[in-house]
């Protein structure tokens, strides 16, 4: 059953109230300082049920894509540093798509907050093409595999317990066939990991694998058939990233409005200036358009692949530049202080600038649309 507007509104209000009380700017700053440690609020997110939004009831979840999108917008407005996006919006949908029954225990552990995941798909030189995979998985005897390769920009990898690693079991480097997914423990022998912070407060990692041995039980899904599920999961995460961006855009506008109401020039509020009002209206319109196209894409996530890809790329191609414009306008209307770390609006801009390039920039998604047409 699809959620009603009232249901989503009540859910968003409850999330917003919790974040306002427990995840203010000072708390986010503390979370950023501990970027290479276990996420500070992960247990609370699990207790609140946020890790299960969009998951089946059988693994402790509830709701669907629109519910998860509503959550993403609120988390985006709070600029959360916890790796919710790579876990709940990317890895969990991937496990569901590939092997729901076989991964039920892992999904239950994830929803409970007991296991953190990261998708190790992208490689050096691949840019946004996750199917550009040179990491090899070779059979070792009757019941094992050896993995060798290098992964980069593993979102949330620095805080993950398990790497969902995309490896090639057949075919050439850019083939979409011949790709298989393996669950590799972070501390497995032969795994080297370098955690890195991103400028917008997320964490990522570079991961090397040298003669990493895993049992066949680590394989998720069929041999060579992982790509359709991986592509769908990335599309799902892209939509939720757009939702986060809408939240960050709305936060940037709210902060700007509040600041301009307090600032006075020539004896009157800056907002009395008609040119300034026009810029605020332009920001508002961009946010509403971004929200509408993102919701439309979320509603198409269960459609046929071609329709889903088109809806997702249309959303990302619009939200990426819109987010950057809103962020830039917010900083400019604050003046020089907008770029200081002491003001939240600068952090909104950093999150929006980073989101514009994550999971494909505008040019990449426009090219994807052109191929589909």
Q: Where are the domains of the chain?
A: 5-115, 119-225, 228-372
- d(CA 328, CA 316) in angstroms, rounded, equals 18
List b or e across 315-346, with b for residues whose CB sees 16 or more CB atoms inside 10 angstroms.
Answer: bbbbbbebbbebbebbbebbeeebeeeebbbb
Give the pLDDT score at 103: 84
pLDDT tier for residue 138 given thresholds of 50, 70 and 90: very high
Q: In the predicted model, is pLDDT for residue 321 greater than 70?
A: yes
- Rounded mean pLDDT of the chain? 93
pLDDT in tens, 85-136: 999 999 999 999 987 667 889 999 999 999 999 999 999 999 999 999 999 9
pLDDT for 365: 97
Span of 130-144, 246-260, 332-346 with lowest mean pLDDT:
332-346
Q: What is the pLDDT of residue 28?
A: 93
Tokens 């196209």 label which residue? Answer: 293
- CATH, range 119-225: 2.40.110.10
Distance CA 200, CA 265 (A): 32
Give the pLDDT confidence of 203-225 residue by residue, as tens digits: 999 999 999 999 999 999 999 99
139 and 167 Cβ atoms separated by less than 8 Å: no
Provide, rounded to the nearest whole percent, the portion of the chain with pLDDT above 70. Answer: 98
Average pLDDT of 148-161? Answer: 96
Residue 276's pLDDT is what?
83
- CATH second-level architecture of 5-115? Orthogonal Bundle (1.10)
**Would you place residue 346 in the very low, low, confident or very high pLDDT band (cuts 50, 70, 90)?**
very high
Q: Are the C-beta atoms of 252 and 330 separated by less than 8 Å?
A: yes
Question: pLDDT tier at 23 (50, 70, 90 boundaries)?
Answer: very high
CATH classification for the domain delimited by 228-372, as one of 1.10.10.10, 3.40.50.2300, 3.40.710.10, 1.20.140.10: 1.20.140.10
What's the average model confidence in pLDDT over 153-182?
Answer: 95
Calculate mean pLDDT across residues 196-201. Answer: 93
The confidence score (pLDDT) of residue 310 equals 97
242 vs 31, residue with greater confidence: 242
Pairing status of strand 203-215 against strand 191-197: antiparallel
Residue 329 is predicted with a pLDDT of 95
Phi, psi of 237 (to 5 degrees): -65, -35
In this model, does residue 17 exceed pLDDT 60? yes
If pLDDT is split at 50, 70 and 90, which confidence band does 373 have? low
What's the rounded mean pLDDT across residues 241-269?
89
**Residue 100's pLDDT is what?**
66
Convert the pLDDT of each residue in 55-89 to its tens digit: 999 999 999 999 999 999 999 999 999 999 999 99
Q: Once rounded to an integer, what is the mean pLDDT over residues 306-318?
A: 98
pLDDT of 1 higher than 80: no
> Is the pLDDT reported for residue 368 higher than 80?
yes
Judged by average pLDDT, the poorest of 157-161, 274-278, 350-354 is: 274-278
Instruction: Classify residue 29 by burial, with Cβ atoms within 10 Å: 0-12, 13-18, 19+.
Output: middle
Tell me how far the alpha carbon of residue 20 is from its chain's centroid: 21
Model pTM? 0.95
Residue 279 has pLDDT above 90, yes or no: yes
| Cα→Cα distances 164→65, 130, 154, 161, 291, Å | 22, 13, 10, 10, 30
């Amino acid at each position: 059953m699809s959620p009603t507007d009232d249901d989503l509104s009540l859910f968003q209000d409850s999330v917003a109230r919790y974040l306002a009380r427990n995840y203010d700017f000072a708390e986010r700053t503390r979370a950023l300082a501990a970027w290479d440690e276990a996420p500070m609020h992960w247990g609370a997110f699990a207790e609140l049920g946020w890790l299960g939004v969009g998951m089946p009831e059988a693994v402790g979840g509830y709701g669907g894509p629109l519910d998860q999108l509503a959550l993403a917008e609120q988390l985006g407005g709070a600029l959360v540093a916890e790796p919710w996006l790579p876990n709940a919006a990317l890895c969990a949908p991937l496990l569901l798509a590939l092997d729901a029954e076989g991964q039920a225990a892992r999904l239950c552990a994830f929803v409970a907050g007991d296991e953190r995941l990261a998708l190790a798909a992208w490689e050096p030189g691949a840019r946004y093409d996750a199917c550009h995979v040179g990491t090899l998985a070779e059979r070792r005897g009757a019941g094992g595999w050896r993995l060798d390769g290098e992964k980069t920009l593993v979102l949330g990898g620095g805080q993950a317990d398990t790497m969902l690693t995309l490896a090639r079991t057949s075919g050439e480097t850019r083939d979409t066939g011949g790709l298989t997914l393996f669950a590799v423990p972070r501390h497995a022998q032969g795994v080297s990991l370098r955690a890195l912070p991103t400028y917008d407060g997320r964490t990522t990692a570079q991961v090397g694998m040298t003669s990493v041995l895993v049992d066949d039980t680590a394989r998720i899904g069929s041999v060579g058939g992982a790509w359709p599920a991986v592509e769908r999961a990335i599309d799902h995460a892209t939509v939720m990233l757009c939702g986060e961006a809408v939240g960050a855009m709305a936060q940037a506008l709210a902060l700007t409005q509040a600041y301009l109401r307090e600032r006075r020039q020539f004896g009157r509020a800056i907002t009395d200036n008609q040119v300034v009002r026009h810029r605020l209206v332009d920001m508002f319109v961009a946010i509403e358009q971004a929200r509408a196209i993102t919701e439309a894409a979320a509603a198409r996530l269960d459609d046929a692949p071609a329709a889903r890809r088109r809806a997702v790329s249309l959303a990302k191609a619009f939200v990426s530049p819109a987010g950057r414009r809103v962020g830039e306008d917010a900083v400019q209307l604050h003046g020089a202080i907008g770029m200081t770390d002491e003001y939240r609006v600068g952090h909104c801009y950093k999150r929006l600038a980073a989101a514009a390039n994550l999971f494909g920039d505008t040019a990449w998604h426009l090219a994807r649309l052109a191929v589909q047409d």
